[in-house]
Structure 1
Amino acid sequence: MAQTVSVILGSEDRIRLAAILGDRNRPLKHVQRVNIILLSAEWLPVLEVAR
């Protein structure tokens, strides 16, 4: 059975995270974490987020 994680984000949070995702001056680990958060907010299974 696939695991699911639900993250609930408001529109302001999504905008701020998207800005971090597009900022090339941010450390890679921050960009990767933001990507995980945004994918988890889309209700994707954990295995799809891990890819």
Structure 2
Amino acid sequence: MKSKRIPTPRLAKFFGMSDKFWINLQNDLEIRKQKEKLKEKLQSIQPLQQTG
């Protein structure tokens, strides 16, 4: 696994935005990539049925 440098503090400072904004943006991108990569496998997963 490659280590990635996330320039969150620098971007936040430059654009005058919060660190959390950039972290959330990066997390969203990573989740989208993983969902696309695992698309077929995810379709075959059945959600857990909870009984009440």
Specify the TM-score bucket, using the shorter chain as the normaliser. Answer: 0.3 to 0.5
Kindly indicate whether structure 1 or structure 2 has the higher relative contact order, using CA contacts under 8 Å at least 6 residues apart. Answer: 1
Decide which structure has the larger Cα Rg and report it: 2
TM-score between the two structures when normalised by the length of structure 2: 0.35
TM-score between the two structures when normalised by the length of structure 1: 0.36
